[in-house]
Amino acid sequence: MTELIRLSKRMSELGLCSRREADEWIAKGWVRVDGKVIAELGTKILPHQKITIERQAAAEQSKRVTILINKPVGYVSGQAEDGYLPAIALIKPENRWSECKVNTSFHPTQLRSLVPAGRLDIDSVGLLILTQDGRIAKKLIGENSEVEKEYLVRVVYNKPGRLPDSDLRLLNHGLSLDGKKLLPAQVRWQNDDQLQFILKEGKKRQIRRMCEMVGLKVVGLKRVRIGKVRLGKLPEGQWRYLRDDEPFN
């Protein structure tokens, strides 16, 4: 016998929207199952049942924005903490990059439900994505996300000589954090004091902690790419809209 599944969860699995969005749409009467409007939150359905959404939901979703920001040091990714400003505080008309190619006018309503899709710690700089679109958030930080994140990491070795090749191999695969083995990474030298890291996960302060394990101190960390979307020439402290022709994968 096929198990019943919560409607909002099934909608998220199908990539229609996030679970939060699904609940909003259900409450507004915008979701049908096998042609019947479902307006009760928590409704469960069978996986094979046909879900359709009203045009209003699709129209509302199309208005949702995704923003790229080049986060400076001293800003936190999410909620304000310990007196530090969140990166969203930088999203105002005067900080919009003059070379932004998207023909969208800024409006304060775009800041509502705009959440960071992944973290970048207070001491790090570079590409941070903030989005109102639950589908993008799920793609970038969902449990099964396969999207690569690329970082340039300036380091100092606190032991004599150079980092042994065996420790570089450990950075690529073999380390554990919080009792859990890390996924394979791609780590290689860019020059004498800078490493390139490509990861498919993002545990808290992961790169700094990985480096500490092999005797490296991180003195600078910059995220330059998420999936196929690059930081490029976006100046520090400025932002732009994600273009329609910029898929993450």
| Average pLDDT of the segment spanning 15-28 | 87
| Burial of residue 237, with CB atoms counted within 10 A of its CB: 0-12 exposed, 13-18 middle, 19 or more buried | middle
Locate 59 and state its tokens.
């129209």
Task: Return the bridge partners of 226, or none.
Answer: 149, 229
The per-residue pLDDT for 64 is: 85
Grade residue 249 by pLDDT with cuts at 50, 70 and 90: confident
Give the residue numbers marked as catalytic: 121
Domain 66-145+229-241 matching CATH 2.60.40.1230: the answer reads no
The pLDDT assigned to 195 comes to 98
Q: How far apart are CA 69 and CA 78, in angstroms?
A: 13
pLDDT digits 0-9 by tens, 31-54: 999 999 999 999 999 999 999 999
When the candidates are 3.30.1230.10, 3.30.2350.10, 3.30.930.10, 3.40.50.150, the CATH number that belongs to 149-226 is 3.30.2350.10
CATH class of the domain whose range is 5-62: alpha beta
Tens digit of each residue's pLDDT (9 = 90 or more) over 196-212: 999 998 888 999 999 99
| pLDDT at residue 106, rounded to an integer | 92
pLDDT value at residue 5: 94
In the chain, where are the structural domains located?
A: 5-62, 66-145+229-241, 149-226
Q: Residues with Cβ < 8 Å from 174, sequence gap 6 or more?
A: none
pLDDT in tens, 151-196: 999 999 999 999 999 999 999 999 999 999 999 999 999 999 999 9
Give the DSSP letter string of 28-45. Answer: TT-EEETTEE---TT-EE
Q: What is the pLDDT at residue 33?
A: 96
